[in-house]
């Protein structure tokens, strides 16, 4: 199957989930909405659980892609970390699957695939990846923190080699605190000043 058709099936599954709880979503309905046969859908994802895993993996990847865009924007370190926190909170607010991934709270209306890898017999590379481990809230914190450190310590960025491990450790702590501030805002939206004000409080000085 062409990647575009796989995306159409995932889009159809996402739209169906917006209308009804996942247990009530039918594979035949998803296939019809995407304009393919039910057999084609099963060939691509293997099962409804495989479709769920692929859908969750796609939303996780989209969230991390947004993080990457925020971190690589042409701005100073504090602005990029603020934009990263704001993106994480906004993505969770707008997407129930992202919110569940970030908080670990899966409601009964959502698919709740096991975060551990499952045995995969898929012939489709994208599905074999989806059948691998899915990120837990702790994994997300580490992924975003490590990506932020890597970007901010790239050429011309952040602490240089001569600054030693202490400054790099401080940058890592700042990045992790920013991610955790974003996650706290998912559970309890910030008041006046928003996320930017909170991020300023956890960045007593600009790292780097």
pLDDT of 11 = 97
Q: Is residue 194 part of a domain?
A: yes
pLDDT-based confidence at 161, cuts 50/70/90? very low
Q: State yes or no: pLDDT of 208 exceeds 90.
A: no
- d(CA 87, CA 94) in angstroms, rounded, equals 10
Q: Is residue 186 part of a domain?
A: yes
Nearest to 30 by CA among 12, 47, 17, 5: 12
pLDDT of 154 = 76
Q: Is residue 149 part of a domain?
A: yes
Kindly provide the b/e burial profile for residues 3-12, where b requires at least 16 CB atoms within 10 angstroms of the residue's own CB.
eeebebbbeb
Residue owning tokens 């001569």? 162
Q: Is residue 32 part of a domain?
A: no
Q: Is residue 10 part of a domain?
A: no
Say whether 152 sits in a helix, a strand or coil. helix
| Mean pLDDT over each residue of the chain, to the nearest integer | 89
Summarize pLDDT for 53-105 with one digit per residue, the tens. 999 999 999 999 999 999 999 999 899 999 999 999 999 999 999 999 999 99
What DSSP string runs through 56-79?
Answer: HHHHHHHHHHHHHHHHTSSS-HHH
- d(CA 179, CA 201) in angstroms, rounded, equals 13
In the chain, how many domains are there? 1
Query: Containing domain of residue 117, as a range?
Result: 60-126+134-202
* Torsion sign (Cα): 54, 60, 63, 64: negative
pLDDT of 165 = 59
Q: Is residue 153 part of a domain?
A: yes
Q: Is residue 34 part of a domain?
A: no
End-to-end CA distance of the chain: 46
H helices of 20-136, in order, are 27-34, 38-45, 48-71, 77-94, 96-103, 125-130
Q: Is residue 159 part of a domain?
A: yes
- Please state the separation of Cα 3 from the chain's center in Å: 20
pTM above 0.85, yes or no: yes
């Amino acid at each position: 199957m062409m990647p575009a058709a796989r995306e159409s099936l995932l889009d159809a599954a996402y739209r169906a989930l917006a209308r009804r709880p996942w247990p009530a979503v039918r594979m035949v309905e998803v296939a019809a909405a995407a304009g393919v046969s039910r057999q084609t859908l099963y060939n691509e994802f293997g099962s409804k659980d495989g479709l769920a895993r692929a859908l969750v993996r796609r939303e996780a990847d989209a969230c991390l892609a947004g993080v990457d865009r925020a971190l690589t924007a042409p701005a100073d370190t504090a602005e990029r970390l603020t934009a990263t926190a704001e993106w994480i909170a906004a993505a969770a607010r707008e997407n129930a699957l992202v919110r569940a991934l970030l908080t670990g709270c899966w409601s009964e209306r959502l698919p709740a695939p096991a975060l551990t890898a499952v045995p995969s017999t898929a012939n489709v590379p994208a599905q074999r990846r989806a059948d691998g481990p899915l990120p837990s809230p702790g994994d997300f914190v580490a992924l975003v923190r490590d990506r932020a450190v890597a970007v901010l310590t790239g050429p011309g960025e952040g602490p240089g080699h001569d600054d030693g491990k202490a400054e790099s450790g401080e940058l890592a702590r700042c990045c992790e605190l920013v991610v955790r501030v974003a996650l706290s805002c998912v559970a309890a939206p910030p008041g006046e000043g928003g996320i930017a004000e909170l991020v300023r409080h956890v960045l007593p000085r600009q790292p780097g």
